[in-house]
Amino acid sequence: MKKLKNIIIRNFPLPDGSKESFKVSYQIFGQELHTAPIILINHALTGNSSVAGEGGWWKEVVGDSKAIDLRRYTVIAFDIPGNGYNHVAPIERYTLLTTKIVGNLFWKALDSLGVVQLYAILGGSLGGSVAWEMLFQRPDSIQKLIPIACTLKSSDWLIGNVHVQESILSNSQNPLEDARKHAMLLYRTPNSFRAKFKGRQSESGFAVEHWLIHHAEQLKSRYTLPSYRLMNHLLKTIGENRAKDEVEKIFRNCKTEIHTIAVDSDYMFTREEQIETYKIIRKYKKNASYGEIKSLHGHDAFLIEFQQLNKLLISILS
C-alpha cells in the first residue's frame, strides 16, 4: 500500500442540521496530477483506495498496459469516510451518511486537489452507485460515467438484505464473521457454488463451509464492526429521495457519456434493473451503451471476470 494522503472537509452539513468534519484519505496512481486525463475509481463495500499495485483489489484492470493504463491516465481513488482504511476513529452517527453525501464529499475532495473535470468515473457495486450520485450533483464535470454492477436506487431486495445484515450485526455473538458469510451468498450464485465445490466434503466439514469461514476470518482481520455497519447502511441509501423526473432531467440535459455494465447473473443489483435504467437513458441520450459480463459467479463477477471487463472498458475508454 502507498502512503495514504488526507484531505479534511470541514463543517460539512448533515441532514439533521448539524455540521461535521470528515477526513477523506486517498491515493493517486499513474501520471502526475494535472498532466493527463483523470479517472476516479470508487471502491465497493469492503474495498478501499488501493486499486492498483501490489495488493490492489483491481490490479488486473488498473496498471501499465491494462484497460485503465497508468501510462496514459492519472487515477484517483478515495476511501469512503468511515471505512476504516485510514485508521480514523469510527463515525458514530453513521446512519446520517448516505451515498449522496459520500459523492458530495468526494467532489469537495476533488475541489481541494484542483480537479474540475474528470475524464471518467468508474465504480463497481456500492462504488458505482456513488458514481451515479456524483453525476447527478455535477453532470458537466464528467466526460464518461461507467457504473458497474450497480443501480440508481436501492431495490426492495437490496434493502431487505441490508436489514438482515443489520440484524446479524446487532444480534450475533460473531457479528462480522456471520454477516460476511451471509453476504457471500448474495455476492455469488447457486451455480457458482455448484461449479466451485461440487459437494466436496472432508472429515472437518463441507468445502463450502470452509470457504465461508475463510472469507469471514479474512474480513474480521481487516475490518471493524463500526466500519462494516456504516458500509452496509450506505447500500440502502442509494438514490434516496431522488425523484424519477429529476433523474430524467439530468439524462436529458447532460453531455456525459453513460456506459452501464451489468452482470447477467447478479442477484444483488439485477441485470433487469440495469437494463431498465439503460432504456430510460436511451430515451434521452445517444452517447450511451449497455455492456454485460456473462458469468455464473453473480455479483462478484466484476472482481473475477477480468478478461470480459477489460475488453468492455478498453472499448469505452478509447
Structural domain boundaries in the chain: 5-154+238-317, 156-235
SS3 265: coil
Amino acid letter, residue 96: L
Task: Encode pLDDT of 230-289 as tens digits.
Answer: 999 999 999 998 888 999 999 999 999 999 999 999 999 999 999 999 999 999 999 999
Q: According to the model, what pLDDT value does residue 92 have?
A: 87
Asked if 182 and 176 touch (Cβ cutoff 8 Å), the reply is: no
156-235 is classed in which CATH architecture? Orthogonal Bundle (1.10)
Q: According to the model, what pLDDT value does residue 2 have?
A: 76
Phi-psi region of 25 (alpha: psi -120 to 50; beta: other; left: phi over 0): beta
Q: According to the model, what pLDDT value does residue 87 have?
A: 75
Q: According to the model, what pLDDT value does residue 318 have?
A: 86
Q: How far apart are the first and last CA of the chain?
A: 29
Give CA–CA dist 98/130, Å, rounded.
9
Q: According to the model, what pLDDT value does residue 205 have?
A: 93
What is 29-68 written as a DSSP string?
EESPTTSS-EEEEE--TT--S--SSTT-TTTTTEETTSSE
Give the pTM.
0.96
Q: According to the model, what pLDDT value does residue 171 have?
A: 98
Label residue 88 by pLDDT band (50, 70, 90).
confident
SS3 12: strand
Return the DSSP state at 176.
H
For residues 141 and 318, the model is more confident at: 141
pLDDT score of 310 more than 90: yes
Share of the chain above pLDDT 70, in %: 100
Q: According to the model, what pLDDT value does residue 144 have?
A: 99
Provide the strand spans (E) within 101-191.
118-124, 142-148
CATH number for the segment(s) 5-154+238-317:
3.40.50.1820
SS3 13: strand
Q: According to the model, what pLDDT value does residue 3 have?
A: 86
Task: Encode pLDDT of 166-206 as tens digits.
Answer: 999 999 999 999 999 999 999 999 999 999 999 999 988 99
Q: According to the model, what pLDDT value does residue 1 have?
A: 62
